[in-house]
């Protein structure tokens, strides 16, 4: 599929690339990595994401060139790291773009194969890893900026080489990106070693009330808590990963009460458990070990719904 | 030095290997990795550490064969990951072992070159990485157990490939260890993704009182706090690393009041800052970015001494 995808993209001239809403470091990393590489190889490229580029991705070169509402005519759309057409959000104008073929490049096991051409590899550690292979198949050489973007994506989705999907092949790709000039230490520092003291204080608040039911450990962040530490940014993904280290739990959940009253649910599971199905059923997505969704409030109702679904899913099994 | 060290060790038959007191994953990993490899190559080997093997290293094969008080006659002592003869603790019997040559293998910049032969490489990410090179120079082949031990050491000291010393070479060594059968995901899971809920509760308590003075962020763990969460094990190294992610600080410190009343001081610094000199001056050791020491209590006095030394050291510069 790598070669077929490379051929399909090589034959296009004016390409719109879109990644999923609520973008993470792999979404933005693969978007910028592919976009910059295709521009370098002489194509007209527009990079888009319906949501703003999050703070923690703004160390990547040219992030400002990602737009939220692409317009114009394209001969190809490339969807990156996105399991479902809906998750392209408003960056995909269903009416205006109806006739444009879509190449769907993704590594989510929950991908619904919505593209004209679908290259979905659930064994890939990150979509950025797939883009690395794609660029090699297209004979596009890397530069520092591209290498930084792709390594950023790999580090984000492997949690810095810590997930079970981190194979020697992933490490080899990382080394090649380092050889191309990407700084591993700069990226790990940016991705994992920086949070405002406010986030640490918010964690402290959230950790004061940890609940453990039936090997599910959970905590919550209320609007009041955010206000009291003066924090608008999230900082939640680190918290749920941290909670999931508890020996006494198989599943960790953080409920985050957003400004508008919706509840952002972040879930982690140990190998053997699976949180992706519950996320999917609630309109979200992700992987067996890390998934999430955003559902209507109020907090108490959202919480009991998710916890009961998680218990159910465990009884039924995957 | 690698080849010279290899020759020196190859010519010995009855070898005592010792790592430093309060051993971490690199001390135990390099000790076991070298010990098992030398046993495999037909030598009589005794592996020793003055302190018990910590819980978080007991997933490594044959850890039970490490003894605390070695006796007998040896024709060579190998000191691993240890910057100073004192830090071998009571495992090194100064009187009985006075005439035995010492090979000192270490990557600490604070190493005082106490050996008969000193192979000190501050640019190595871990002593386990040096042992990997040594075994290659000695033509000793790896097996799964040895590979797991050495990868354990590398992961511990690079914080899972996150420190600035994580070069492509370190990654290549990691891949070779994975090729020899070491499981990266199992080790990262063991090292980074497991803590009792009690530790998380203790973090929560410690994080409730974070202090920020002059870009030094610090917190403390009192005996009372440990008792209230029912925790005897430490769990402190993760906490100080976490504190050091605060954007507002260059240095993070955790003061841990031990059962006997002494204060264990764990320090982290961002690149550019250096905590090793203060640790060294107080009888401890470590690296510029991560160092520690254990000093007399009471807590308040120890705290103000360390904080004032850290401020001083910053004024003087490295």
Euclidean distance between CA atoms A120 and A111, whole angstroms: 7
pLDDT score recorded for residue B228? 83
pLDDT score recorded for residue A233? 60
- Residues of B contacting chain A (CB within 8 angstroms): 160-166, 168, 171-172, 174-175, 178-179, 184-185, 188-189, 192-197, 200-201, 203-204, 207-208, 210, 212, 217, 242-249, 271
| Nearest residue of B to residue A182, measured between CA atoms | B168
Tokens of B303: 């705290």
B134 CA: distance to closest CA in chain A (Å): 23
What string of pLDDT tens digits covers the 318 residues of chain A? 899 999 999 999 999 999 999 899 999 999 999 999 999 999 999 999 999 999 889 999 999 999 999 999 999 999 999 999 999 999 999 999 999 999 999 999 889 999 999 999 999 999 999 999 999 999 999 999 999 999 999 999 998 998 888 999 999 999 999 999 999 999 998 898 888 888 898 898 999 889 999 999 999 999 988 888 877 666 677 899 899 999 999 999 999 999 888 999 999 998 889 999 999 999 988 888 889 999 999 999 999 999 999 999 887 654
A306 CA: distance to closest CA in chain B (Å): 22
Residue whose C-alpha is closest to residue B92's, from B176, B194, B20: B20
Question: Which of A160, A161, A247 faces B197 most closely, judged by CB atoms?
Answer: A247
Helix A197-208 vs helix A236-243: crossing angle, to nearest 10:
40
pLDDT score recorded for residue A318? 47
pLDDT score recorded for residue A196? 85
Euclidean distance between CA atoms A206 and A221, whole angstroms: 6
- Residues of A contacting chain B (CB within 8 angstroms): 160-166, 168, 171-172, 174-175, 178-179, 184-185, 188-189, 192-197, 200-201, 203-204, 207-208, 210, 212, 217, 242-249, 271
Q: For an interface test with A, which of B58, B207, B229 has the most A Cβ atoms less than 10 Å from its Cβ?
A: B207
Question: How many residues in total does chain B contain?
Answer: 318
pLDDT score recorded for residue A209? 87
Task: Give all domains of chain A, ordered by start, each with its CATH number.
Answer: 2-192 (3.90.1640.10), 197-316 (3.10.310.30)
Tokens of B272: 């550019």
A251 CA: distance to closest CA in chain B (Å): 13
B50-100 pLDDT, tens digit each: 999 998 899 999 999 999 999 999 999 999 999 999 999 999 999 999 999
| Nearest residue of A to residue B176, measured between CA atoms | A168
Task: Kindly determine whether residue B247 and residue A204, on different chains, have CB atoms separated by under 8 Å.
Answer: no
A88 CA: distance to closest CA in chain B (Å): 32
Beta strand B102-106 with B117-120 is parallel
Cβ-contact A162, A244 below 8 angstroms: no
Q: For an interface test with A, which of B163, B170, B193, B242 has the most A Cβ atoms less than 10 Å from its Cβ?
A: B193
Q: Which residues of B touch A56 (CB under 8 A)?
A: none
In degrees, rounded to 5, the angle at the alpha carbon of residue A70 between the alpha carbons of residues A67 and A71 is 145
B125 CA: distance to closest CA in chain A (Å): 13
List all residues 6 or more positions away from B128 whose beta carbon is below 8 Å from its beta carbon. B26, B29, B30, B33, B149, B150, B151, B152, B153, B154, B157
What string of pLDDT tens digits covers the 318 residues of chain B? 899 999 999 999 999 999 999 899 999 999 999 999 999 999 999 999 999 999 889 999 999 999 999 999 999 999 999 999 999 999 999 999 999 999 999 999 889 999 999 999 999 999 999 999 999 999 999 999 999 999 999 999 998 998 888 999 999 999 999 999 999 999 998 898 888 888 898 898 999 889 999 999 999 999 988 888 777 666 677 899 899 999 999 999 999 999 888 999 999 998 889 999 999 999 988 888 889 999 999 999 999 999 999 999 887 654
Q: Which residues of A touch B204 (CB under 8 A)?
A: 204, 207-208, 210
Q: Is the backbone of residue A46 left (phi > 0), alpha (psi -120 to 50) or beta?
A: beta
Torsion angle in degrees (nearest 10) through CA of B50, B56, B58, B59: -150
The 8-class DSSP code of residue B87 comes to G
pLDDT score recorded for residue B316? 65
A136 CA: distance to closest CA in chain B (Å): 20
ipTM: 0.82
Q: Which residues of B touch A164 (CB under 8 A)?
A: 185, 189
């Amino acid at each position: 599929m790598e070669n077929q995808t490379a051929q399909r993209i090589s034959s296009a001239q004016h390409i719109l690339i879109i990644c999923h809403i609520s973008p993470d470091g792999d979404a933005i990393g693969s978007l910028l990595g592919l976009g910059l590489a295709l521009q370098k190889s002489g194509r007209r490229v527009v990079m888009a994401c319906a949501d703003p580029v999050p703070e923690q991705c703004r160390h990547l070169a040219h992030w400002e060139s990602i737009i939220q509402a692409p317009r114009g005519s394209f001969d190809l759309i490339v969807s990156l790291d996105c399991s479902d057409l809906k998750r392209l959000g408003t960056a995909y104008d269903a009416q205006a773009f109806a006739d444009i073929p879509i190449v769907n490049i993704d590594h989510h096991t929950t991908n619904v194969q919505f593209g004209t051409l679908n290259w979905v590899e659930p064994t890939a550690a990150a979509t950025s890893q797939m883009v690395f292979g794609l660029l090699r198949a297209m004979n596009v050489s890397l530069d520092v900026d591209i290498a930084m973007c792709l390594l950023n994506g790999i580090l984000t989705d492997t949690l810095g080489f810590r997930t079970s999907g981190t194979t020697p092949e992933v490490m080899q790709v990382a080394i090649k990106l380092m050889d191309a000039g990407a700084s591993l230490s700069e990226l790990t520092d940016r991705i994992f070693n920086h949070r405002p003291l406010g986030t640490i204080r918010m964690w402290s608040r959230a950790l004061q009330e940890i609940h453990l039911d039936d090997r599910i450990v959970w905590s919550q962040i209320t609007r009041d808590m955010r206000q009291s530490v003066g924090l608008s940014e999230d900082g939640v993904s680190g918290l749920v990963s941290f909670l999931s280290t508890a020996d006494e739990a198989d599943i960790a959940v953080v409920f985050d009460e957003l400004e508008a009253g919706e509840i952002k649910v972040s879930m982690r599971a140990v190998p053997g458990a699976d949180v992706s199905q519950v996320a999917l059923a609630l309109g979200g997505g992700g992987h067996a070990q890390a998934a999430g969704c955003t559902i209507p409030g109020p907090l108490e109702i959202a919480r009991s719904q998710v916890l009961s679904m998680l218990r159910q899913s465990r009884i039924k099994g995957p």
